[in-house]
Structure 1
């Protein structure tokens, strides 16, 4: 009996120690995560400071880089994506960009963001020869890295929603593109989507910082593509 009681006491003692260690580890992890998030948000803001413009005031650049997002089941851009494309269309019409690089997800044959963006722009008068497609822009980091490494973009105006813009511009600039940005605010009417997107930026900034620090390569690279160069020459 005494042996069983002693074993039980030892088990409870070890169990309490394990619980305390686990809780301590969780608290330390949460503190580190919170600190990293705050630092990464600060980095994004500092990197993009002075490079975010209104549509009316943005300087001219050779290329508009439009970042992809959800395409509806019928193959048309979601309202959030259409708002980005409207800005790019107006920048092109006003001569503030010469070519438009649309970068998005084409992970499988049934889902194609770049083709949907191309159709939207062409239907509204942008010549197809001025629209260049990047089918492997699976996230913001990949889109920025591929714009520089695959398409040779050196200077660009990034177009996305305003809550996403600082991170996109910061990544492009850190990855070698002299980037400025124009953000859309019209999509605030979709309040739930806007709130969710704004909230997730904190975590996304931490991921962006880790991607930069690790120097990871995009999911897909490959040979140099001349689409942007061809579009810029065709004046």
Structure 2
């Protein structure tokens, strides 16, 4: 009898856990539907493209392909005239860890003028990046630049924070590493859903910065 009770409670917990993952994922997909683009010719033009941060060098010592493909997507958008400025938002929580500056240096190497690049050093997570794009950099309409799964979550958050956002999908990554990232994304969407419900705010705001 005791074993049956334990088994019953375990099943209930598993069902609740699955619902806690399935429901937010479904909502994120629904609210971002039709707002991400793979084709440069079909994406609408916006003043600012927001690159969501990523570490440049992977633990293996090789370049992080998520970083590389986001960089390439931003360059493509700019050179096609689909954005006028690039806002790089990432983590600079330590002196030896600076995502925005890595992107800036590589964008300049690719021919993007330095005065067209703005850096947000307090984009510690996607919610912070999206809200700060509006509250600090004054953008209520942006093109988000990341992989599709990440763009969908960012667009979902943006919609609940008063930002009209579309996404340009950087090339994705397959294989074992890509699958692990997708699994983590499921949990990240649950966290995003909770953040929206409880109106969670960025870790830092600060003084406003005018783009352009």
Out of 186, 190, 193, which is 1:202 matched to?
186
Instruction: For structure 1, list consecutive stretches of 5 or more residues without a partner in the other structure.
Output: 1-15
TM-score, normalised relative to structure 2? 0.90
Out of 106, 117, 121, which is 1:131 matched to?
117
Query: Of Structure 1 and Structure 2, which has the larger fraction of its residues in helix?
Result: 1
1:23-102 to structure 2, matched below 5 A, reads: 24-56=8-40, 57-72=42-57, 78-102=64-88
String of CA shifts for 1:32-66, please: whole Å, max 9, x gaps.
Answer: 22112111011101110121112321110111011
2:198 aligned residue: 214
The structure-2 alpha-carbon separation of the partners of 1:111 and 1:51, relative to structure 1 and needing over 3 Å to count, comes to same
1:181 aligns with 2:167: yes
Contact 1:77 1:116 in 2 (8 A): no
Q: 1:136 & 1:193 partners in 2: Cα distance? A: 27
Q: CA deviation at 1:78?
A: 2.4
1:164 aligns with 2:163: no
Q: 2:205 & 2:7 partners in 1: Cα distance? A: 42
SS in 2 for 1:152: coil
String of CA shifts for 1:115-172, please: whole Å, max 9, x gaps.
Answer: 0000010011101111110111111111111111221111111110123221122112
Contact 1:77 1:117 in 2 (8 A): no
Q: 1:175 & 1:33 partners in 2: Cα distance? A: 27
Instruction: For structure 2, list consecutive stretches of 5 or more residues without a partner in the other structure.
Output: none
Q: 2:93 & 2:4 partners in 1: Cα distance? A: 44
Q: 1:55 & 1:159 partners in 2: Cα distance? A: 13
Q: How many residues get paired?
A: 210
Q: CA deviation at 1:23?
A: 5.5
State which drifts further: 108-117 or 132-141: 132-141
Q: CA deviation at 1:76?
A: 9.3
Aligned alpha-carbon RMSD (Å)? 2.2
TM-score, normalised relative to structure 1? 0.82
